Structure 1
Amino acid sequence: MKFTDLIAAAAVVSAILLFTAVPDAVPALGGFAEAHPFIMSFLKFAILGTLGEMVALRIATKRYTHRTFGLMPRCLVWGSIGLVIHTAFIVYATGTPNFLMGLGFSLPPDALADGDFATRLGLAFSISALMNILFAPLFMLAHGVVSMHIEKTGGSLLGFFSPIHISKLLGDIDWNMVWGFVFKKTIPFFWIPAHTITFLLPPELRVLFAAALGIVLGVILALASLKRNEATA
């Protein structure tokens, strides 16, 4: 185990101990999140999403970061993703019940909270499926383009705010990976089931759980990349 691994483990343990040893920490954060949901969404994704990419990089290259990784730009990108995801959760959690009722389904006023388990599960799955089929592919593609832009501009904040050459970056994308793995496998077999669970959770926990999923997906993508590299070696 490297020294950087010890630092990372110590940070995680310290965070756990904070919430264990300071009973008021959880209610205080919960109150702040309820009062400022978009700010908390930004912070949760900025921290956990960036951590997920660092863990994935550690698995793939034995390092948590490198010269062009761009820690601050990636924090900004993941924080912005948190804002978009929080907005998408509101839109799809509100719109999907109306869509289903338009198809003739009968739902209680707040089906995710007041329905029986079968109703809640069916609605959570429907919200997740619609969001991941209609919204996720373009969103994932945009995230991939911005990540490539960070790498190609040296990982600096100045480079991050330079113009993004979208057409060139789209041409550099590994479409076999994007279509064959990210779209065809992670969406139906990971994101739709995972976000079904997300929408079964209380509203105040959904964004946090979604941000934590970024770490899990980062590990999955890193392992898939290692497997693909071994197969082509």
Structure 2
Amino acid sequence: MKKQDFLFIILVVVVFLPFFLSDAVYDWYKSFNAEHGMVMSFLKFAILSSLGEVLGLRISAGVYNRKGFGIIPRMVVWGILGMGINAAMIIFSKGVPQFMEYMGMANAAATFTSEAMSLDKVLVALAISVTMNTIFAPVFMTFHKITDTHILMCGGSIKSLITPIPMTKIITGLNWNVQWNFVFKKTIPFFWYPAHTITFMLPPDMRVLFAALLGIVLGVLLAVAARK
């Protein structure tokens, strides 16, 4: 472990430790999260998912940052994507149980919102996860790859946030072999299906935070994909 690793760990501990040690800080977080859910979604993903990308860079390149990586624009993009993820989680967690009732599962919505743990609740959570990750995740992952590529093409500059994205150029240049055979075919069914099943079994106010924490794992997975 190098000096930069120790500094990174210390920074993470300093940032997050107050939430565990101080009831006042944690109570403020819960209150602000309840009143400003979309703002907190932006902040959670901007910080935690970007942290995942930094870890991914450490794995793939041996450093936490480098010229052209674009930490700031990546954080902004992740924040915006985080709000989209929050919206998707709300939409699918409301819609899928209703569809399950339409298809014949009695009280699917009530079972899902119940605090009591049951096999039916797990099945509803799994159905929500599978539906969301099958419909929403491929589009999200591809768009995230496009924005990442765009930021790199702009040299990591903040100007990348206002520079038009050359969609055709980037889309046709993506490594679709990795995108399909690893990102879609492996990470979605073997990681995101079960991970988001757990997410949807958590209380609603904890789901976005847990999803953002999973963004750290995503950064590591993307680093693995980049090596292929």
Question: How far apart, CA to CA, are the structure 1 residues paired with 2:183 and 2:97?
Answer: 28
Partner of 1:176: 177
TM-score by length of 2: 0.95
Answer whether contact 2:70 2:155 (CA < 8 A) is retained: yes
* Unpaired runs of at least 5, structure 2: none
Identify the residue that residue 107 of structure 1 maps to in structure 2.
Answer: 107
Determine if the alignment matches structure 1 residue 165 to structure 2 residue 166.
Answer: yes
- Aligned match of 2:220: 219
Which residue is equivalent to 1:91?
91
- Report the equivalent of 1:3: 3
Q: Map residues 1-233 of structure 1 onto 2, 5 A cutoff.
A: 1-107=1-107, 109-114=109-114, 116-226=117-227, 228=228
How far apart, in 2, do the equivalents of 1:121 and 1:218 lie?
Answer: 27
Any conservation in 2 of the 1:149–1:160 contact (CA below 8 Å)?
Answer: no
Distance across 1 between alignment mates of 2:111 and 2:85: 21
- Aligned 8 A contact 2:68 2:152 in 1: yes
The size of the alignment, in residue pairs, is: 227
What is the distance in 2 between the residues matched to 1:225 and 1:29? Answer: 35
Per-residue CA deviation, residues 163-192 of structure 1 (Å, 9 max, x unaligned), is 111000011100110000000000100111
Look up the equivalent residue of 1:166 and give its one-letter code: M
Extract structure 1 runs of 4+ deviating beyond 3 A: 223-226
- The change in CA–CA distance for 1:160 and 1:17 in structure 2 (over 3 A counts) is closer
Gapped regions of structure 1 (runs ≥ 5): 229-233
User: C-alpha distance in 2, partners of 1:108/1:171?
Assistant: 42
Kept in 2, the 8 Å contact 1:44–1:208? The answer is yes
Which residue identity does 1:76 align to in structure 2? V
Whether the aligned pair in 2 keeps the contact of 1:43 and 1:79 (CA below 8 Å) is yes
Q: Distance in 1 between matches of 2:197 and 2:145?
A: 24
What's the offset of the Cα at 1:219? 1.5
> 1:109 & 1:50 partners in 2: Cα distance?
34
Tell me the residue number matched to 1:231. Answer: none
Partner Cα distance (2:190, 2:221) in 1: 12
Q: Secondary structure at the match of 2:23?
A: coil
Over the residues paired in the alignment, what is the CA RMSD in angstroms? 1.4
Q: Distance in 2 between matches of 1:112 and 1:123?
A: 6
Conserved? CA contact 1:112–1:123, under 8 Å: yes
Q: Distance in 2 between matches of 1:38 and 1:76?
A: 14
- The separation in 2 between residues aligned to 1:116 and 1:215, in whole angstroms, is 27
Contact 1:48 1:215 in 2 (8 A): yes
Give aligned-pair identity as a percent: 44
